[in-house]
Amino acid sequence: MRPLAVEFEITDPTRFEPLRLVFEALRNTKAHEQFGEDHSDWIKWFDYDARSYFCWHSAEENALHWQQWNATPVPQRWTDPRLNRGWHFESMIEAFSNGEYDLLSCERITETTGRLTFQEHSFPFGGTGCMRALIECFGHRVTRDWEDED
């Protein structure tokens, strides 16, 4: 099996290194299966701009969301824009922890293009959503995703 990748436009060169550092920390933690139960320590790897990408809902907002979710017919739940809340920070970390893949590299392949490479263990492997969220939270724009290809 050949490695898979998510490619992205590096929209701000100063934001690539922080992304790469977080990726390396995630890669090392995943390789040693050391995520543990509490994912809150990961916040220190993310600056204010990266943190602002994520949803930080109150208990009341969560209760309202689930009321709306349960009141929406099943076929519409996944496509109704009112129910799309984006990524919660700890959910992204949890997705990396649970994904059935090895993280291989996050590298600059041209001056304006980056690539996050991984090797899946099985299919389904958990998807690339958390990888896309990680890239996007540092302000970069995903341009090619293995999951979008036929």
Residue 126 lies in a domain: yes
As a whole number, the mean pLDDT across the chain is 90
Residue 114 lies in a domain: yes
Task: Round to whole Å and give the CA distance between 79 and 95.
Answer: 21
| Residue 149 confidence (pLDDT) above 70 | no
pLDDT interval class at 105 (50, 70, 90): very high
Total number of domains constituting the chain: 1
Residue 70 lies in a domain: no
Residue range(s) defining the domain that contains residue 17: 4-34+42-57+86-148
The pLDDT, as a whole number, for residue 150 is 46
Residue 133 lies in a domain: yes
* Runs of H (alpha helix) within the chain: 16-31, 48-51, 59-71, 74-77, 89-98, 129-137
Residue 69 lies in a domain: no
pTM score, whole prediction: 0.86
Residue 130 lies in a domain: yes
Give the residues across from 119 on adjacent strands.
102
Neighbour count for residue 16 (Cβ, 10 Å) = 20
- Give mean pLDDT, residues 119-145: 91
Closest CA to 54 of 29, 95, 91, 23: 91
Residue 144 lies in a domain: yes
Return the higher-pLDDT residue of 117 and 77.
117
Residue 123 lies in a domain: yes
